[in-house]
Chain A
Amino acid sequence: MNAERKRLYLNRRRGLGHWIRSGEPMVWFNAGAVSFSLLAVFGLLWLLAWHGLGHFWPRELLEFSVNRDGEQYTVLGEQVSSERVSGEQLRAAGVSGVDGQWERRRLIKRGNRDFLDTDFAWLLDSSIVEVGRPAGVMRVERLEWGNLYGRLVRLEDRGTPLISTTMDSAATWSRFQSLVADNQALREEIRDIEREEVGRINFAMERLRLRERRLAMSDEPLPQWIADERRALEADYDVARQRLLTLYEQRERYSYRVALADGREVTLPLGQVVRAIQPNDMSLPARLDYYRVRLWEFLSDEPREANTEGGVYPAIFGTVLMVLLMSIMVTPFGVLAAVFLHEVAGQGRITRVFRAAVNNLAGVPSIVYGIFGLGFFVYGVGGDLDQLFFPEALPSPTYGTPGLMWASLTLALLTLPVVIVATEEGLARIPASIREGSLALGATRAETLWRVVLPMASPAMMTGVILAVARAAGEVAPLMLVGVVKLAPTLPLDGNFPYLHLEQKFMHLGFHIYDVGFQSPNIEAARPLVYATALLLVLIIALLNLAAVALRNRLRERYAALDGSV
């Protein structure tokens, strides 16, 4: 090889052209795309976690001495955020006393909505004279009116101050805490009676009324036992009511007196207190414990104050129950349809057209399914069911109104194509030799299908269900039409026969996010909950999926595919 040829040869192996031909840039592009996707996913989770989970931490309370336009006042509260805004913008918004080009301002949650006009306030840094971190200030979570910030002055028993000589502020605080704990137990007792006993009586009363109405409609004489039973129920109700009245009275007994930041002193009922802390005096373990309690409340409690406080338990419950019902409904239908398309029907033009139609159903916007569900299931089928089986309840509808069953059915319809397609793919992957092996032993096609083909296709069916769950759990738009509500008074699963109330409306995390985020009267207070709920929804869908994936993997192990394993 002479020098000239050697040079040419080497040039061919170097250079940009060669690098591109080698496929190396493609590898980098691919890796870049994967990294970007991962970054996007983790960024999303991080954002939700950052904004959502911080909400439950006991932030310290700050006291700001403010001097604005010569007016002096004090603001006590939690600093939620701080930001830089242009002076221009502030002046245009009508804020006086802004000189500079840029200003910093802080968003303070000052609470006390019953005494101030808003519970959030913006403070300009330039107007703040002093920031203090006073000890002994408390943050009280209440059933109504949001948080209260102030200093505990004293406790009162039916209007008379609870004073003893030994009562210093620490003793008052611990007494306050024990009263709050008693009150908590009291509230739970009240709720149990209201929910379970009174709920049961109301439920029985309603059934009795419907029974009576049905008898009246068929012109039968009313038997004596109806009146007897009603009297018994009324007697039960009186007993429960009496107990409740006593408990209500106990709840009203204590009150507490608070000094607010502006110097006012107010007396408030202790029965309204959910929880009180003095965040500035808390140790780290105490803070962590408080965080745990708040997080658990979020997961396990009912919402309060137009969903901006409290927990999301009913929404979690509704979401999971609806998804489970949907899976139970969609799986048999999808599998049967796929078996028909792939095993029974001839593979002619009609089958192909039908298959294309099914595939295209997956692309129909979900709100269209919602409309269909409302028009067909709710008004059509539900209305007919009411006419046939529940005429005594009319004109108030039983099934002819949005509810859990119709929502599950609508979503089952929405996810049906996914299950069909996945199952068909699974059926297509089963080697012909396995079917032939079964047929050659004298099995009929049906026996082959039932004993060999379907078990082997079961992992693919599970894949279909996984995809269906992922899609259904995240849907909100159709649900708004067919069964989801902002606030459901009871869970669709309870102790009253028939236990699962398919006709009831239910709450859903997706709709909860929409409702809290967009329909809330107090958006600043609700915002962290929107993030936290969104994170929760993602986690629940992931959890449902993981469960289905684990099930599929077990099936896969059992019915390992033949291809390549020989």
Chain B
Amino acid sequence: MSTHGFDLDALNRRPWTPAQDADVALSVERLNLSYSGKPALRDIDLSIPRRRVTAFIGPSGCGKSSLLRCFNRMNDLVDGCAVTGRVMLEDTNIYLPTVDVSQLRRRVGMVFQKPNPFPMSVYENVAYGLRIQGINRRRHLDEIVEKSLRSAALWDEVKDRLEDNALGLSGGQQQRLVIARTIAVEPEMVLLDEPASSLDPISTLKIEELIYELKSKYTIVIVTHNMQQAARVSDMTAFMNLGRLVEYDSTDRLFTNPRQRQTEDYITGRYG
């Protein structure tokens, strides 16, 4: 375990619900990524613990979003992007050519920086992923939509306007709708790419509370440049700089007692 930088003591010191296993949900081995020949990630090795919140922090352009987008192969959509190394999700390297990318993305959901609801009703937004899977029975859909919206702490706000266009919701509501849409397909992992960066403080707080709620069921990885946010919501934190993983540790330790000079400079605001 220590090879991956895990500190079970640190994990166990935090007040979680009992009976959680802290095994590895996803592990990255010697990952290199380049855009049209320009390297963006170099020799990344790390493991993401199951049902915990892991935060990636670092200055702009350090590669934290690129790394996150490797976990559900969203980088495949970028022309000229080349990946070497392995990303293991339950003993399968997701970069093997035999892997069904759609299937992978159902297991590893993603929420983006800017809320991106589809221009459809609130209901259809949440049902979208299910309809893709061929689930069209109204009662079944109703059930999952309600459950997902409740999990995303949005149900009470939208239960009377399920048929309204989702674009009419506020930014914070839209982002929670996107989260509801993501968890409606029951993924194992949820990737959050700066989910609160375009939101006001109150909406940000709601998202953070939501993340805290969700980690009992999902493995969560969050990219953020807000260090306070990382400190508030995450169990593990990875600090990245210039495409390298500089330090990866329990959040407590990384913020209070960083081992690397670079990390200390960054979190104390002397750098970046």
Contacts and interface: CB of A to CB of B under 8 A. Distances in A.
Interface of A: 347, 431, 433-434, 436-444, 447, 451-452, 455-456, 558-562, 565-566
A560 B116 contact: no
User: Which of B103, B128, B181 has the most chain A CB within a 10 Å cutoff?
Assistant: B128
B178 A562 contact: no
B74 A566 contact: no
B144 to A, nearest CB: 13
Interface string B176-199: 001001100100000000000010
B202 interface: no
B110 interface: yes
Nearest to B113: A433
Given A436-B112, A442-B185, A451 B171 contact: no
Contacts of A561: 119
Interface of B: 72, 74, 77, 79, 102-103, 105-106, 109-110, 112, 114-119, 128-129, 131-133, 165, 167, 171, 174, 178, 181-182, 185, 198
Given A436-B77, A437-B112, A442 B118 contact: no
B72 to A, nearest CB: 7
B185 A558 contact: no
Contacts of B105: 439-442
23 contacts: A434-B118, A436-B77, A436-B116, A437-B117, A437-B118, A437-B178, A437-B181, A438-B118, A438-B128, A439-B74, A441-B129, A441-B132, A442-B103, A442-B105, A442-B106, A443-B102, A443-B132, A451-B128, A456-B119, A560-B119, A560-B167, A562-B167, A566-B167
B77 A439 contact: yes
B116 A431 contact: yes
Contacts of B182: 440-441
Contacts of A439: 74, 77, 105
B161 to A, nearest CB: 16
Contacts of B185: 441-442
A455 B167 CA distance: 15
B175 to A, nearest CB: 10
B196 to A, nearest CB: 14
A562 B132 CA distance: 22
User: Which of B103, B118, B165 has the most chain A CB within a 10 Å cutoff?
Assistant: B118
Contacts of A566: 114-115, 167, 171, 174, 198
B167 to A, nearest CB: 6
A431 B112 CA distance: 13
B70 to A, nearest CB: 13
B116 A434 contact: yes
A347 B78 CA distance: 12
B147 to A, nearest CB: 16
Contacts of B131: 451
Contacts of B103: 442
Given A434-B116, A566-B115, A442 B102 contact: yes
A297 to B, nearest CB: 49
A500 to B, nearest CB: 36
User: Which of B114, B132, B171, B198 has the most chain A CB within a 10 Å cutoff?
Assistant: B132
A462 to B, nearest CB: 16
Given A431-B116, A436-B74, A437-B178, A442 B165 contact: no
A559 B119 contact: yes
A433 B109 contact: no
B112 A433 contact: yes
B188 to A, nearest CB: 13
B110 A440 contact: yes
Contacts of A440: 72, 74, 105, 109-110, 112, 182
B75 to A, nearest CB: 11
Contacts of A559: 119
Nearest to A442: B106
B119 A444 contact: no
**What are the nearest 4 A-B pairs in CB distance?**
A442-B106, A441-B129, A440-B110, A433-B116
Nearest to A557: B165
Contact of B132 (A431, A447, A456): A447
Nearest to B132: A443
B116 A562 contact: yes
User: Which of A442, A447, A561 has the most chain B CB within a 10 Å cutoff?
Assistant: A442
Nearest to B112: A433
A562 B171 contact: no
B164 to A, nearest CB: 12
Contacts of B102: 442-444
A436 B198 CA distance: 18
A436 B113 CA distance: 12
A24 B79 CA distance: 47
Given A437-B117, A442-B103, A451-B131, 17 more contacts: A434-B116, A436-B77, A436-B110, A437-B181, A438-B118, A440-B112, A440-B182, A441-B105, A441-B106, A441-B132, A442-B106, A442-B133, A444-B102, A451-B132, A559-B119, A566-B167, A566-B198
A453 to B, nearest CB: 10
B37 to A, nearest CB: 17
A434 B185 CA distance: 18
Nearest to A456: B119
A440 to B, nearest CB: 4
Contacts of B165: 558, 560
A330 to B, nearest CB: 26
A546 B106 CA distance: 44
Nearest to B124: A451
A441 B128 contact: yes
A435 to B, nearest CB: 8
Given A433-B114, A560-B167, A562-B167, A442 B119 contact: no
B118 to A, nearest CB: 6
A431 B117 CA distance: 11
A347 B131 CA distance: 31
A441 B181 contact: yes
A364 B105 CA distance: 47
Contacts of A433: 112, 114, 116
Contacts of A558: 119, 165
B94 to A, nearest CB: 13
A439 B79 CA distance: 16
A439 to B, nearest CB: 7
Nearest to B102: A442
Contacts of A444: 102
A451 B167 CA distance: 17
Given A559-B119, A566-B174, A442 B132 contact: yes
Contacts of B129: 441-443
